[in-house]
Chain A
């Protein structure tokens, strides 16, 4: 802890020194500021050369018998027959190398297993006092001791976007984390991306609103109207703030909800919208056009395969499952082949989990989706499938120049798999985050990694 505090002090000093240069630019608008800065520290690097692997680079490329050189936390080189500059060499023959898996839809740290009665009474998954929880930051609820982070890491996940749940229409800010051990979420928080935000449409918000005890619209049309009204308010607020900054008006009092929505309108905050039905998706994309912003991704997007053109033209991605279907009415028309259908139609598509269990196997979800595609005559090669769990989600998070691809200069978030990453039998042998070994299957931890599991009867042999 003392070390950590010391480092924080050093970081503060660095920022203080950097300040004069930053002052050249205009001061950030309120919605451009991060009230909960990251304390994540890049680990000391484990330089290595992975030799002779099947490499799926995440961006659509494949090299058989290829090498990856990792130095100083970054990918230094990718190719065949690379010279070893004197680093640890790992024989990766017969094994596969991919970028680390990125899950853009998780509730880890808030939907914390094991659940107890307190979760049923008052869950941290979302703040439901109002259908507009735009002012909330999910990271202030994340329990860093959730063992789901350890399970994710040991299965090759290196980046996780934690979203608030889909009960409120405006559910709040997301946070992107690395599944590394830290006492608080801020020791896990990834930086350099675009601030994410969660919205919801359809059955979840309306059925919440329909309960007598709760505030909020009770129908799909009510939900859509609510969105538009809040964006109208936010547009007014944003204009007032901008005018005040330009010296042509009084600064309105700070309003955390309006600030967040103004951030969406200005493009500083990227929206992820939970939607199932085609009509719901179309309505949300129409609202985005009306208010001049781009939706980052439709999540679940159960019926996106019916309207791929709308997503493609809006530049909106789809974050989908392979096999969550049918459990509610709006999920009736889910198809396992959705990812290959959307890929074929030119939509940016990715697998997502919404579950600490399924988040461990996003590549397997991709394998199921591709197999279902084969049933209707769509073949998807592995080098394309891997985009669904690496570079496409990186794009959504605004991190596509840093992670999700194995190419020189990228952060070395890399997994060495024991075999084909789309095989149920393959295991993550090595997981590197920022070029440091975060998981080594040959050296499993001797004790549970989370504080929660440590020393509990029933857990350790």
Chain B
């Protein structure tokens, strides 16, 4: 009875004040222009942004957060991470990153996502509201499986969209899989050709390209061979995690030969092929922190990689695919630090913000991520510059709701705060 009564009360209240949340005195980085809206009032209506206006009024009775002139950004988006699939990387029984299935190339990571993970809550506390979660190499080289977007709302269910692309890894040192990268590229091309033959044989009914943001990115296709048809149909991108210039140029050739959308992930030497990437509209998801080559493919890794690519017209997002042992553990802080380092190395500030908000969403075909009327109400109130590691996220709002920003680390630190 009480539930029913409050439902009626809500229904009555709704027309008078549809906004469920307001943020006032914000330095609002909407991602629309290159500069922030000062003293902005951001109104949130349910799970959507209603308006962003300088000095805007707040309707009576709406819960209000005072940003005190500090930056407010869209929720940050990690362009490549494995949070939600990993708890203790050193303990296999807590890790769900890779398929060992000999029969099927598919690995739809969305079924393994764990919103209760300590890695997820820390990333959220660091201002991440969405993350592209990718699988590790499968037994069907060069394929890994199908990444998914996670939405870091409170609770166990953090799936945003499944099957947002097909993920492959190509490079040196793959002797336990296919050996020479020549064979890896051939296998990838062979799979695409096979799929195209199948489509030409009467299954080409879904060729219509979908714009960013409307409908599920995979066009409803599922993991495995079926999703490769989605790549050919232009519904989802093919992500190739690779670093060496020769491989990056192979990726560009692949995009051109098959007329498909290709994303280079990693791309330590992408700066050497910036013009070719720009011409073929191949986007790059990279970690700007990297300036040492983990293997020979990554020789020449440099922190102005992002700046050089953006200057050439390549769309860039920040992610930490294949990063150091603790990369996933810092999916939030590492992302912000990386974007900051990119700025320190010549990337314009606004481009760095785009690389951790709208760009990863656009590159992976999901779209959105700006603070504009009608957009998803994922946003973060900061106590300083979001790209400074010395800044804390004050409020993290996911789908219009204030999410928890207390990580297990905060609770432990608090418990022992007065230990002497």
Contact = CB atoms under 8 A, between A and B. Distances in A.
Contact of B389 (A328, A364, A377, A460): A364
A372 interface: yes
B83 to A, nearest CB: 11
Contact of B416 (A334, A341, A372): A341
A114 B299 contact: yes
Interface string B292-304: 1111101110000
Interface in B321-359: 324-326, 329-330, 333-334, 337, 340-341, 343-344
Contact of A326 (B119, B269, B337, B420): B119
Interface string B370-395: 00000000000000000111111000
Contacts of B293: 113-114
A356 B329 contact: no
Interface residues of B, number: 50
Interface string A354-373: 01110011001001101111
Interface string B201-239: 000000000000000000000000000000000000000
B390 A368 contact: yes
A395 interface: no
Given A345-B419, A376-B417, A357 B299 contact: no
Contacts, number: 142
B413 interface: yes
Given A323-B326, A329-B88, A337 B413 contact: yes
A333 B407 CA distance: 12
A257 interface: no
B353 to A, nearest CB: 14
B417 A377 contact: yes
Interface in A362-396: 364, 367-368, 370-378
A335 B337 contact: no
Interface string A432-461: 000000000000000000000100101111
Nearest to A333: B412
A415 B380 CA distance: 35
B341 A357 contact: no
A328 B390 contact: no
Given A326-B326, A332-B88, 11 more contacts: A113-B293, A323-B330, A323-B333, A326-B88, A328-B91, A345-B419, A346-B420, A364-B337, A376-B414, A378-B417, A456-B300
Interface of B: 87-91, 118-119, 173, 244-245, 269, 272, 289-296, 298-300, 324-326, 329-330, 333-334, 337, 340-341, 343-344, 387-392, 409-410, 412-414, 416-417, 419-420
17 contacts: A114-B296, A114-B298, A115-B294, A307-B419, A308-B419, A308-B420, A323-B326, A326-B88, A328-B88, A345-B419, A355-B324, A356-B292, A364-B389, A367-B390, A373-B413, A424-B343, A427-B344
Interface of A: 113-117, 147-148, 151, 305-309, 323-329, 332-338, 341, 345-346, 355-357, 360-361, 364, 367-368, 370-378, 422-427, 453, 456, 458-461
